[in-house]
Structure 1
Amino acid sequence: MTDDDVRLAHALADAAGTAIRGYFRGALGIEHKEDASPVTLADCAAEAAMRAVLDTERPADGIVGEEYGVTRGGAARRWVLDPIDGTRAFAIGRPIFGTLIALVEEATPVLGVIDQPILRERWVGAAGRPTTFNDALARVRPCAALAEARFGSTAPAHFDEAEHAAYLRVAGQARDALWGGDCYNYGAVASGWLDGVIETNLKLHDFAALVPVVEGAGGILRDWSGRPLDAESDGRVIALGDASLLDAVLERLGG
């Protein structure tokens, strides 16, 4: 991962944002995929815009995109793209969705961007560097007590019955637990506005960008067994601003 990769990540976010803003609160052309998740014209346009930049600037790198699948999947370096994480929020005009951009080297996310193109808010994390929020340093909030922690998760429908019960065992001991937010919640953890996020059923394009952003701000991302996330993770994710919360969270998730 190089300075030029960081520059390119910004360029990808700029390209996606330009495409998305033209559709926000307008004609969306909503369709539904086989898994019943929505996709809009903006999702497709934003990913196409990013792929065009990558095809010009990084023709040997792989691409993993939510909408257009895998290109050069065997490459050691892969750009992982989620043009609109939070399409349901986007579709009803709520500016808490985001574009996720990650660079994964071998199996490890080394560069990540969370971009909110309507509010023009951008978190950038890169391995070995501090996370920035609109070019200023971002930092998590110290919070060592679960009873003082504020948690978020996108929607109860994303959990199965057992997972939902596990989440509630954590949320029931926390100061506050909110639904909604998609990737924006992870930016909120990196900036110290939220203390944790617990989710499941995430794919690589949903979580790869989050790892460098949260960890570069002083937090951690783990799976529900406490292991660091990589390209082989099972999609069950814990993000914490204060790592000292991890044991308490894992204990409750495990029942």
Structure 2
Amino acid sequence: MTATLADAVLIAEAAGKVAMRHFRGDLGIDFKADDSPVTQADRAVEAEVRRLIGARFPDHGIYGEEQGIERGEADDLWIIDPIDGTRSFMTGHPLFGFLLAKLTQGSADLAVVAAPALAEVYAAARGQGAALNGKTLLSSGCTAPDNATLYINEGEKIWRAAPDIFADLMAFGRTRRFAYDCYPYALLASGHVDAVVDFDLQPYDYHAVALLVEEAGGVMTGWRGERLEMQTNVATIAAATPDLHAELLRITASGC
């Protein structure tokens, strides 16, 4: 593990402690202009992470979901989702996450995906693989759709925006599950599930999970196969293998 990734893991662990002080407690819930919720925990976690990054990497930029971009012109940019799955967090569901990625000149080179309520910290660095609490991860290697387990994130949004694609996804694979948060990507990187289809994501939603999936041996792109850079409102496919990714791409690209 590089020194910078080790620092990122420490930052994630500190963020998790802040989140857990609020979890299943007094949340102070507000709603943003798009009707998405934000809690005092979201704000407290991001403030602590910004403080820690600023202390260690004062010349780096920071882009957080709650407080926007600071020093956005810097070559190195940290992207923060303080609580991925605020609706899960505010209802006491333990599969909310913390996401942190560092981009160098627009390309992610390290990522941390943490599940604070489960004491799990997933870490990845470009070209160095992925790990859970220090143990190496590999995706499942599944190539056959008939054997695949698929997670569909934001299913209601997909159903409303692309009903034909939704119907085809509901016929894909051996098993399908619905979710809303980052944890299915952790399961994919760990080899427990084979694919995740997602919708309406922002850069702070996808950069960390994409690198984690890729360093575990998987593939993640947009619905047309496009590279993930700094798109907004993007729909994504993540899969354990290129073959399985190509099968899903036939469904999503045909309806775009």
Task: Trace 1:1-255 onto structure 2 (pairs within 5 A).
Answer: 3-159=2-158, 161-232=160-231, 235-253=234-252, 254-255=254-255
Identity of matched residues, %: 34
Does the 8 Å CA contact 2:112/2:208 hold for their aligned counterparts?
yes
Q: Which runs of 5 or more structure 1 residues have no equivalent in the other structure?
A: none
User: What is the CA-CA distance between 1:167 and the residue it aligns to?
Assistant: 3.2
Does the 8 Å CA contact 1:86/1:97 hold for their aligned counterparts?
yes
Does the 8 Å CA contact 2:23/2:92 hold for their aligned counterparts?
yes
| Counterpart residue identity of residue 22, structure 1 | R
Q: Are the structure 2 counterparts of residues 36 and 194 from structure 1 closer, same or farther at C-alpha, using a change threshold of 3 Å?
A: same
User: What is the CA-CA distance between 1:105 and the residue it aligns to?
Assistant: 1.0
Q: Are the structure 2 counterparts of residues 18 and 62 from structure 1 closer, same or farther at C-alpha, using a change threshold of 3 Å?
A: same
Does the 8 Å CA contact 1:126/1:216 hold for their aligned counterparts?
yes
Q: Aligned partners of 2:251 and 2:232: how far apart in 1? A: 20
TM-score by length of 1: 0.95
How many residues end up aligned between the 2 structures? 254
* CA deviation map 1:225-254 (0-9, x unaligned): 112222247611111012211222111121
TM-score by length of 2: 0.95
* CA deviation map 1:163-186 (0-9, x unaligned): 343133133121111111510010
Q: Aligned partners of 1:128 and 1:14: how far apart in 2? A: 23
Q: Aligned partners of 2:105 and 2:147: how far apart in 1? A: 38
Does the 8 Å CA contact 1:153/1:182 hold for their aligned counterparts?
no
SS in 2 for 1:159: helix
What is the root-mean-square deviation in Å for CA atoms of aligned residues? 1.5
SS in 2 for 1:139: coil
Does the 8 Å CA contact 2:238/2:245 hold for their aligned counterparts?
no
Q: Which runs of 5 or more structure 2 residues have no equivalent in the other structure?
A: none
Q: Are the structure 2 counterparts of residues 211 and 22 from structure 1 closer, same or farther at C-alpha, using a change threshold of 3 Å?
A: same
Q: Aligned partners of 1:170 and 1:41: how far apart in 2? A: 36
User: What is the CA-CA distance between 1:188 and the residue it aligns to?
Assistant: 0.5
User: What is the CA-CA distance between 1:162 and the residue it aligns to?
Assistant: 4.0
Does the 8 Å CA contact 2:201/2:232 hold for their aligned counterparts?
no
User: What is the CA-CA distance between 1:8 and the residue it aligns to?
Assistant: 1.6
52-61 or 166-175, which deviates more: 166-175
| Counterpart residue identity of residue 46, structure 2 | E
SS in 2 for 1:178: strand
Q: Are the structure 2 counterparts of residues 59 and 221 from structure 1 closer, same or farther at C-alpha, using a change threshold of 3 Å?
A: same
Moved over 3 A (4+): none
